[in-house]
A = this chain, B = another copy of it.
Amino acid sequence: MAATEAETVASISCSGHGRAFLDGLVVNGKPICECNACFTGPDCSNFLSDCVVDADSGDPTFLEPFWEQHAASSAIVMAGWHRMSYEFNDGSLISEELKKHIRQVHDIVGNAVTDGRFIIFGAGATQLLNAAVRAISPEGSSSPEKVVASTPYYPVYKEQTEFLNSKDYKFSGDTLLWKSSAIDSSSSQNFIEFVTSPNNPDGQLKKAVLRGPFVKTIHDLAYYWPHFTAIPAPADEDLIIFTLSKLTGHAGSRFGWAIIKDEAVYQRMLTYMSLSTYGVSRETQLRVLKLLKVVIEGKGREMYEFGYKTMKTRWDQLSKSVSMSKRFSIQDLETHYCSFSGKVKKSSPAFAWLKCERQEDKHCYEVLKAAHITGRDGRLFGAESRYVRLSMVRSQDNFDLLLQRIEKLVSEEYSSKSSMAPSVS
């Protein structure tokens, strides 16, 4: 019965511009097509040429075609009685089989040392970021730990810390503001530095900026996978966070993991998980296990080849278009030797970090908005409003439309109309 339902839903045609899902809205007894942005109609075949392209979210659906090609081997069947208990049989909240497969994935890719390290699961990097901050801030110390990151930084570091408003830690902006106090042992200030590599938004490989005995680091390596970057060497840091969403593209699964050196920090993160959500859902853990088995299959390269090819093609196309512009620029990325592929690898970042170069284009977000592109305002990353992050990890439909809109903007620089009108409004 369950299999028939799943096959029925898989067979609903949405013209390649959408999907029907088992838990979608039901009309006349069957789930309806959910169309990609800018497509509409019962089978998603109508293109809305005037619609706004959403390049805001880092939703990694560029990998969906890979999973469609592996639909049979990646499917799971779950009975109603599957793992009802709060805990696994060993009393933990974590599947040992899944942990084993995560180590295998890292061994194959060579992006992190896992031997002799503790591993903990969370609901995406989102939950693990705060779990890590909480775990490494002592309770009830006289002044709160300063949580810092290098501009431009992932906005959630700031938003999460501020919303939860703990007594024990406080978001304190850019690392550069604190370089001297961090090494000043008389200042008695403690720091927690988020190091994001490759960086979100700009794809740069990064190292910690602050040094000294009062600095602890959290390495957010969400994008340290062959889709997005060369892998120069396995990371071997105190506390590293990864997320499934940027590995297999399953953002909706809310699954991430941390690799931890210190047992006391690991224990405090376990306490956080216990008191915050009591662990990650068993449905998710079962599914992630199945997905990772597919990732590892054969020589464990197929998904990365698909991912890199897709991202590299997109970056090349966007770079080429922007390179003809005087009005816009995007980040330069160095090439690096990649130990996974065994060669020097060209860039394939998840995001374009776009700058509006004209004096009058101070609010780059608004400039793009007027051209029917929604990006993410540079100010959210602690940067100037001259910058906007554009997501290149969404569906092919989404990227194609983004590219088309950028090409149109660039071509307008050369048209007589645009050279008379200094700004788009």
On whether the beta carbons of B72 and A86 are closer than 8 Å, the reply is no
State the majority secondary structure of interface residues on A. Answer: mixed
On whether the beta carbons of A1 and B254 are closer than 8 Å, the reply is no
In the complex where A21-B83, A254-B281 touch, is A75 in contact with B78 (Cβ < 8 A)? Answer: yes
A250 interface residue, CB < 8 Å from B?
yes
In the complex where A81-B64, A276-B126 touch, is A23 in contact with B289 (Cβ < 8 A)? Answer: yes
A272 interface residue, CB < 8 Å from B?
yes
Give A70-128 interface residues, CB cut-off 8 Å to B: 70-87, 89, 95-98, 122-124, 126-127
In the complex where A71-B79, A134-B164 touch, is A283 in contact with B253 (Cβ < 8 A)? Answer: yes
On whether the beta carbons of A286 and B254 are closer than 8 Å, the reply is no
Q: Min CB distance, A379 to chain B, in Å?
A: 18
On whether the beta carbons of B275 and A156 are closer than 8 Å, the reply is yes
Chain B residues with Cβ under 8 A from A163's Cβ?
Answer: 134, 271-272, 275
User: Could you tell me the distance between the alpha carbons of A83 and B248 in the complex, rounded to whole angstroms?
Assistant: 12
- Residue in contact with A249 in the complex, picked from B25, B84, B291, CB distance below 8 Å: B84
- Residue in contact with A253 in the complex, picked from B10, B282, B294, CB distance below 8 Å: B282
A263 interface residue, CB < 8 Å from B?
no
Chain B residues with Cβ under 8 A from A75's Cβ?
Answer: 1-2, 77-80
User: Could you tell me the distance between the alpha carbons of A168 and B287 in the complex, rounded to whole angstroms?
Assistant: 38
- Residue in contact with A3 in the complex, picked from B3, B122, B134, CB distance below 8 Å: B3
Chain B residues with Cβ under 8 A from A338's Cβ?
Answer: none
On whether the beta carbons of A276 and B140 are closer than 8 Å, the reply is no
In the complex where A81-B71, A277-B126 touch, is A86 in contact with B166 (Cβ < 8 A)? Answer: no
Q: Min CB distance, A271 to chain B, in Å?
A: 7
User: Could you tell me the distance between the alpha carbons of A168 and B78 in the complex, rounded to whole angstroms?
Assistant: 42
On whether the beta carbons of B77 and A5 are closer than 8 Å, the reply is yes
On whether the beta carbons of A278 and B85 are closer than 8 Å, the reply is no
Q: Render A247-283 as a binary contact track against B, CB cut-off 8 A, 1 for contact.
A: 0011111110000000000000001100111111111
Surface stretch bound by B, among A53-61, A323-331, A353-361 = A53-61
On whether the beta carbons of B126 and A278 are closer than 8 Å, the reply is yes
In the complex where A67-B84, A126-B276 touch, is A284 in contact with B281 (Cβ < 8 A)? Answer: yes
User: Could you tell me the distance between the alpha carbons of A310 and B254 in the complex, rounded to whole angstroms?
Assistant: 35
A190 interface residue, CB < 8 Å from B?
no
- Residue in contact with A165 in the complex, picked from B96, B130, B166, B285, CB distance below 8 Å: B166
Chain B residues with Cβ under 8 A from A213's Cβ?
Answer: none
A24 interface residue, CB < 8 Å from B?
yes
- Residue in contact with A278 in the complex, picked from B19, B67, B124, CB distance below 8 Å: B124
Give A1-23 interface residues, CB cut-off 8 Å to B: 1-3, 5-6, 10, 19, 21-23
List the B residue with the shortest CB-CB distance to A160: B275
Q: Min CB distance, A336 to chain B, in Å?
A: 28
Chain B residues with Cβ under 8 A from A220's Cβ?
Answer: none
On whether the beta carbons of B21 and A82 are closer than 8 Å, the reply is yes
Most B CB atoms within 10 A — which of A21, A35, A59, A284?
A: A21
Which A residues form the contact surface with B (CB < 8 A)? 1-3, 5-6, 10, 19, 21-26, 34-35, 57, 59-61, 63-64, 67-68, 70-87, 89, 95-98, 122-124, 126-127, 130, 134, 139-140, 156, 159-160, 163-168, 245, 249-255, 271-272, 275-287, 289-291, 294
What are 16 residue pairs bridging A and B, where the CB atoms are less than 8 Å apart in the complex? A6-B78, A6-B79, A24-B89, A25-B96, A25-B97, A68-B80, A71-B81, A74-B81, A84-B250, A84-B253, A85-B251, A124-B278, A126-B276, A127-B276, A160-B275, A160-B276
